[in-house]
Amino acid sequence: MSKTESDTPNRLALIASKGTLDWAYPPFILATAAGAMGWEVGVFFTFYGLTLLKHDIEAEVSPLGNPAMPMKMPFGPEGFQNINWSIPQAAMSIPGFNSVATGLMKQTFKNKGVAAVGELRDTAVELGVDLIACQMTMDVFGFKREDFISGCQIGGAATFLEYAAGAEVSLFV
Amino acid sequence: MSKTESDTPNRLALIASKGTLDWAYPPFILATAAGAMGWEVGVFFTFYGLTLLKHDIEAEVSPLGNPAMPMKMPFGPEGFQNINWSIPQAAMSIPGFNSVATGLMKQTFKNKGVAAVGELRDTAVELGVDLIACQMTMDVFGFKREDFISGCQIGGAATFLEYAAGAEVSLFV
Amino acid sequence: MSKTESDTPNRLALIASKGTLDWAYPPFILATAAGAMGWEVGVFFTFYGLTLLKHDIEAEVSPLGNPAMPMKMPFGPEGFQNINWSIPQAAMSIPGFNSVATGLMKQTFKNKGVAAVGELRDTAVELGVDLIACQMTMDVFGFKREDFISGCQIGGAATFLEYAAGAEVSLFV
């Protein structure tokens, strides 16, 4: 329930489970928006989302199996005008296409004034957002503490659940 | 916390972030179910989900990269009996296959009495569900207000967060 | 809001909507973690996630359209050392590749001490977690009660919403 008129700030508890460039935006945008509103924010990075804590974010966009990507819209939104709209699904499986799509998305987001994922992450840290790496995922995939940025902590599912129990809003992204 | 016995109605805050036909169902089904139960409901359409506010919903189903789709189940549920169950993953990348899968899903849902996505959206509007288009996604992808149905509003992440802070249930779909 | 110091236990309401092996882990890990912490837990299996209630879980991992999968990471986490890291996206559409990826993930998870999905499900049942099959999805896809494990119940969106209204944490996975 909202506590906007009480003493304690609202709290947002997020799980970031996806590692592609496009899906990196929602958790960071929500986290920084909430942080800028004075909320307490914690983001638990797990599964594929754990890669978003690496020093250099290497996330890629995948148009494959994603027919809702704007580049497949018939009327062609201006942000993607330089894409060949008739690219068939099969062509998207060509090696290298992912990096093309990623570059276009990065450029589009930059042109429109949306901060790149790395900048959003820096902003989150500056706003005091708690970034938590999932211990179990680290063990399973072989990550080490030094693979990640210094501003993050390490925790487990119990850490997230205890934090989320006191949150006004909890979301699994 | 449940307020079913108090004066104010429960509130459901949804984020609809996916634009494929299959993933269009969960937010609209949850929104209309909650609306029919007398809840306050707000759905924030962002990212690929923004396309679900277009006048004509052109969402497609993508079986690619989705091995859990029923058509890959060995025992063949009756809803998909007319599909060749041995279609290999590679064949699914053939241009045009997505529209076949989409047609089959639409037909299956129709046969089973489940309302089409467009009808669910109309029902949501009739039930007073707030449909909110994400301003930032509109800017990034080049959408304009007139691209969307008249029954929707425009807002940002802060709009969603303030609304969700007062919700009993918030979900990111 | 947290009730950790009050009489009633916290409650976790989950929606499990995906049916691939990788996405089967998050709901079961969260459910068993919360159950072990003494929380009330309910998991609503809907859409592709419904297959996770079948007697034998046949979920597959799909690397296709998922560029964040560890096997595409340049530095090669130890859990996937025996994978050829240069596999192009196109090769992943070869029939049979999904089962290879699934086998590797199962093995990796096993080596690292993470319980297999089936074991996690058994643990959830033992912990008293409520497993609920979505009636509508059963109708649409042609599932019958006997297709599922005996420990589950059947319900609709309203069932979930009423349960979630009383939950401290609700997540859509």
Span C74-91, pLDDT tens digits: 223 333 333 332 333 444
Q: How many CB atoms lie within 10 A of CB A48?
A: 23
Task: Reduce the DSSP state of residue C168 to 3 states and report it.
Answer: coil
Task: Reduce the DSSP state of residue A160 to 3 states and report it.
Answer: helix
Stated as kind and residue range, the H or E segment containing A107 is: helix A97-111
B162 touches chain A (CB under 8 A): yes
**Is C141's CB within 8 Å of B74's CB?**
no
Average pLDDT over all residues of chain B? 78
Chain A residues whose CB is inside 8 A of the C29 CB are 136, 157
Distance separating alpha carbons of residues C30 and C48, to the nearest angstrom: 18
**Is A73's CB within 8 Å of B66's CB?**
no
- Residue pair C173/C23 in contact (Cβ under 8 Å)? The answer is yes
**Is B26's CB within 8 Å of C172's CB?**
yes
Task: Give yes or no for residue C47 having a pLDDT over 60.
Answer: yes
**Is C64's CB within 8 Å of A60's CB?**
no
pLDDT at position B155: 96
Chain C residues whose CB is inside 8 A of the B66 CB are 20, 48, 62
For chains A and B, count residue pairs whose Cβ atoms are closer than 8 Å: 109
What residues contact C156, with CB distance under 8 A and at least 6 apart?
A: B33, C134, C135, C136
Return the structure tokens found at C78.
């130890």
pLDDT band at residue C173 using 50, 70 and 90 as cut-offs: very high
**Is C109's CB within 8 Å of A140's CB?**
yes
Task: Give yes or no for residue B54 having a pLDDT over 90.
Answer: yes
Range with lowest mean pLDDT among A110-124, B141-155, C103-117: C103-117
C30 touches chain A (CB under 8 A): yes
**Is C114's CB within 8 Å of A98's CB?**
no
Residue in this structure with the two tokens 């912990």, named with its chain if needed: C127
pLDDT at position C59: 61
Interval C51-62 mean pLDDT: 78
Nearest to B170 among C20, C93, C170 (CB): C170
pLDDT at position A168: 98
B68 touches chain C (CB under 8 A): yes
The fold of C11-59+113-172 is: Hypothetical Protein Ychn; Chain: A, (3.40.1260)
Task: Give yes or no for residue B62 having a pLDDT over 70.
Answer: no
- Residue pair C4/C11 in contact (Cβ under 8 Å)? The answer is no
pLDDT at position A84: 30
Residue of chain A whose Cα is closest to the Cα of C69: A48
**Is A142's CB within 8 Å of C22's CB?**
no
Average pLDDT over all residues of chain A? 78
pLDDT at position B141: 82
**Is C60's CB within 8 Å of B73's CB?**
no
C106 to B60, B97, C80: CA distances (angstroms): 31, 30, 11
CA distance C34 to chain A (A): 7
pLDDT band at residue C121 using 50, 70 and 90 as cut-offs: very high
Task: Give yes or no for residue A69 having a pLDDT over 80.
Answer: no
Return the structure tokens found at B99.
């529209």
Q: How many CB atoms lie within 10 A of CB A2?
A: 15
Residue of chain B whose Cα is closest to the Cα of A92: B93
Percent of chain C with pLDDT over 70: 68
pLDDT band at residue B80 using 50, 70 and 90 as cut-offs: very low
Domains of chain A, residue spans: 11-59+114-172, 70-111
Interval C9-22 mean pLDDT: 92
In CATH terms, is domain A11-59+114-172 a member of 3.40.1260.10?
yes
Range with lowest mean pLDDT among A49-58, A121-130, C25-34, C63-72: C63-72
Selected residue of B45, B143, B172 to mutate for chain A interface (largest A Cβ count, 10 A): B172
Percent of chain B with pLDDT over 90: 49
- Say which CATH architecture domain B11-59+115-172 belongs to: 3-Layer(aba) Sandwich (3.40)
CA distance C127 to chain A (A): 15
Task: Reduce the DSSP state of residue A37 to 3 states and report it.
Answer: coil
pLDDT band at residue C116 using 50, 70 and 90 as cut-offs: confident
Percent of chain A with pLDDT over 90: 49
pLDDT band at residue B139 using 50, 70 and 90 as cut-offs: confident
pLDDT at position C96: 61
Selected residue of A3, A73, A75, A117 to mutate for chain B interface (largest B Cβ count, 10 A): A73
Between C115 and C44, the higher pLDDT residue: C44
Q: How many CB atoms lie within 10 A of CB B19?
A: 26
Interval C113-121 mean pLDDT: 83
pTM of the model: 0.80
pLDDT at position B96: 61
Chain A residues whose CB is inside 8 A of the B65 CB are 64-65
C-alpha dihedral, C21 to C105 to B75 to C31, nearest 10° = -30
Long-range contacts of B143-150 (CB under 8 A, 24+ apart): B143/A77, B143/B50, B147/B53, B147/B54, B147/B55, B148/B53, B148/B54, B148/B55, B149/B53, B149/B54, B149/B55, B149/B121, B149/B125
- Residue pair B20/A68 in contact (Cβ under 8 Å)? The answer is yes
Chain A residues whose CB is inside 8 A of the C68 CB are 18-20, 48-49, 51, 59-60
Distance separating alpha carbons of residues C36 and C25, to the nearest angstrom: 16
pLDDT at position C139: 87
Chain C residues whose CB is inside 8 A of the A65 CB are 62, 64-65
Interval B49-75 mean pLDDT: 61
Amino acid at A146: E
Selected residue of C25, C92, C104, C172 to mutate for chain A interface (largest A Cβ count, 10 A): C25
CA distance C3 to chain B (A): 11
- Residue pair B143/B165 in contact (Cβ under 8 Å)? The answer is no
